[in-house]
Structure 1
Amino acid sequence: MPIRLNIATDPVQIDSILKLRYDVFCLQEKLFQPTTDQRVVDRFDTLSTTRNILATRDDRIVGALRINVDSSAGVPADDYYDFRQHLPKENVNMMSVGMFCVREAQRSLGIALHLISLSAYFAVSNDITHVIAPTNPAIGKLLGRVGFKPVGDLRYDPHLGGNFIPMMLDMRDLADSFLTFAKRTQLYNFLQSYEYMLFNAGETVLQAGVKGNSAFVIIEGEAEVRHAESGAVLAVLGEGQVLGELALLTDDTQSVDVIARSHLQTMVLPKDTFLNHLRTDPDHTLQMLHSYAHRMKTVLLGSGFVANLS
């Protein structure tokens, strides 16, 4: 099943995240003592500066991460280490990440890295300069891949129930292939949609006859465009190409099936965001039309309906 990552938007999702924390931190890892309501929550969960990123698979939450933008109330990381001694004196906009949890059965699916990456997209689009995290040593290398660096030695905290490494990301050091890709393909402003989908090879991305409400930009991997009846492969799409945009432009159902040819990473572009972008960025609109025309030429030539198209 595809994995969807997005920022939690309603109380039901938030409550499911609190239950997930309980399952992971209290039952699986035994870091915290069990609670009668079977939820893990603290005062920072009530703040307006808090966001939760969740990963769902088959309509079940399998991973989550909490973001806390700095405010007069502080951030959770302040309770564990004096990160502020490592921050510049001026022009700092800081946030912390924590409450990082993934169900044990899903830890081999790469969800952890994508949760961290989505938090980085949030940081970029909100002009964050530094991200701090009291980090479980088990995921220290994972954060290092994104650009986090240790700012202190390994230490023990009784509240966390184990050791942690204080780590910090200076956003100028961010190492993320998608952010580079977003800049190169003029999709940088789509970061604020904060939605990301992962497909395994053979999974359906778009189905013919179904009305779509989103387009997808391929970040990594390939997808096959297939004839709805014969199953013939009409085109193969890769990095930077958009899936499902025609149905959004015509307000119609999908005319073809799109199947992941390999492990496929995509960014979801909601219909309103997608159409507004095309209205306000004519250069990118022309670029997308050129890409679509090239794809149609490939499809028509491959179908045998025309001998040549130029």
Structure 2
Amino acid sequence: MSIRVKVATTPVELNHVYQLRYQVYAEEYAYMQKNPQRIIMDMFDGMPDSYNIIAYDGETPVGTIRVVIDGALRLPADQMYDFNQYRSQLIEQAQSQGLPIPLLANSGMFAIDARWRNRRDLFRSLFKLSCDIGEARGVTDIITTANIETLALYKRMGLKALGAQIRHEHISVSMVPMHCSMAQITKWAFGGPRTHSKLTELFALCYEYLLVSAGTPIFNATDENPDEAYLISSGAIGITMDTTTMQQDFDLATLTAGELFGESCLIDEQPRKVNATAIVNTDLMVLNKKEFWQKVNQDQSFMKAVLKVMDQKLRDVGRRALIYAHASQEERLQFFLEQLAKTAQPMLKKPHQRVVRMGGHAFSVISGVERDESQAFLEQQAKTGSIGLTENSIVFYSEARS
């Protein structure tokens, strides 16, 4: 199963956004009145600084959220609450610290189809792409008006109430004005302080998110016209090659968070030569070939960045090949544990600890060592106090090795 999260740009995608809002707000909750067009949209949807995000499960639209950057018409939240006093406070605070004037954004029109509301990864990915947009545009603060029934959810995300609840007569619900910094909501969305790579910085606003379940093929060697490269946000991808002499595929590599794959299609017209499959539930950032060349034509430094990543990848492949071919089992396990440590993310409530959402089975697959032996190795490492071990995660207590 895979879910793709992207900025809606085509008329069809935008219509799916408006229809999904209608399905949730008018048909399911009756917050808004039904209409013959069976869509919900407003004047902010036509603004150049509005970004409607849509999530698809296959061809089915399953979630949406809208980000609006502050402008001449202010923000949708300003229509329900007077944020001017708070704006003034933010400006005074920034000036006293010698910082640029704050830029506000509003995140709202959030709707998920009821059948997909148990997908926490979908929920977070909608906000991850929202954060990517906010960071790329230089947003410093988020304001919104939250439905009183979902107030606890917004508080868990880091937003704080700015005043008492107010009655929204148009939709007949009570709302609470709320605020948080861009940094705070990004920290929540990404499960801790976000780490950036050169690629994520250069290609901001170009990525889509792809959420795939364990065992899902990303691409196959039979793909003749590939047009997407992938950066692993979390999880692990197995790269294999079809063989005619063996009954099973030949394992070439196992890639983890921060690694790029499938990038050769960006610069040539050759078909894929390998297969890529998710080993565990994995979040990918997708870079389309058309978007890539639009960036390159604007600035050649984008091409240099990708070539640099490809060069480093070739070096890493060589090192992995030596490990697979000549290292002892203990050395192989230690090598892959160190590789995972480099990709571990700070924990939200314990930032001095870093975590990889990966259990013993996935570690066995990555290292190419039988499950019993790899599990015994991890348990021994846990006894020394260098890692913590749960069924679905590995926690690192010491600094990542470089």
TM-score (norm 2): 0.68
Q: Which stretches of structure 1, 4 residues or longer, exceed 6 Å deviation after superposition?
A: none
More deviation in 139-148 or 257-266? 139-148
Q: Is the 8 A contact 2:228 2:265 kept in 1?
A: no
Match of 2:232 among 212, 218, 235: 218
More deviation in 199-208 or 139-148? 139-148
Change over 3 Å in CA distance of 1:116–1:187 after alignment to 2: closer
For these two proteins, the number of residue pairs brought into alignment is: 304
Q: Is the 8 A contact 2:230 2:262 kept in 1?
A: yes
- Percent identity between matched residues is 25
Task: Deviation per CA, 1:197-250: give whole Å up to 9, x if none.
Answer: 110111111221213211110010011112234323322110111120133344
- For structure 2, the 5+ residue unaligned runs are 93-100, 327-402
Residue 199 (1) aligns with residue 201 (2): no
Following TM superposition, by how much is the alpha carbon of 1:6 offset from its aligned partner in structure 2, in angstroms? Answer: 0.9
Task: Deviation per CA, 1:116-152: give whole Å up to 9, x if none.
Answer: 2211110110111222111234554554455433222
Following TM superposition, by how much is the alpha carbon of 1:251 offset from its aligned partner in structure 2, in angstroms? Answer: 2.6
Q: Which residue of 1 is the match for residue 21 of structure 2?
A: 21
- For structure 1, the 5+ residue unaligned runs are 305-310
Separation in structure 2 between the aligned mates of residue 149 and residue 38 of structure 1, nearest angstrom: 34
Change over 3 Å in CA distance of 1:48–1:286 after alignment to 2: closer
Match of 1:106 among 116, 133, 147: 116
Tell which has more relative contact order, 1 or 2 (C-alpha 8 A, sep 6+). 1
Larger radius of gyration: 2
Change over 3 Å in CA distance of 1:125–1:141 after alignment to 2: farther
Separation in structure 2 between the aligned mates of residue 273 and residue 33 of structure 1, nearest angstrom: 39
1:1-310 aligned at under 5 Å gives the runs 1-87=1-87, 88-89=90-91, 91-110=101-120, 111-137=122-148, 139-144=150-155, 146-173=157-184, 174-175=186-187, 176-177=189-190, 181-184=194-197, 187-210=200-223, 211-229=225-243, 230-274=248-292, 279-280=300-301, 282=304, 285-296=307-318, 298=320, 302=324
Amino acid at match of 1:215: A
More deviation in 239-248 or 280-289? 280-289
Q: Is the 8 A contact 1:54 1:65 kept in 2?
A: yes
Q: Which residue of 2 is the match for residue 307 of structure 1?
A: none
Following TM superposition, by how much is the alpha carbon of 1:295 offset from its aligned partner in structure 2, in angstroms? Answer: 2.2
Following TM superposition, by how much is the alpha carbon of 1:296 offset from its aligned partner in structure 2, in angstroms? Answer: 5.0
Separation in structure 2 between the aligned mates of residue 159 and residue 298 of structure 1, nearest angstrom: 61
- Aligned alpha-carbon RMSD (Å): 2.7
Amino acid at match of 1:89: I
Q: Is the 8 A contact 1:7 1:53 kept in 2?
A: yes
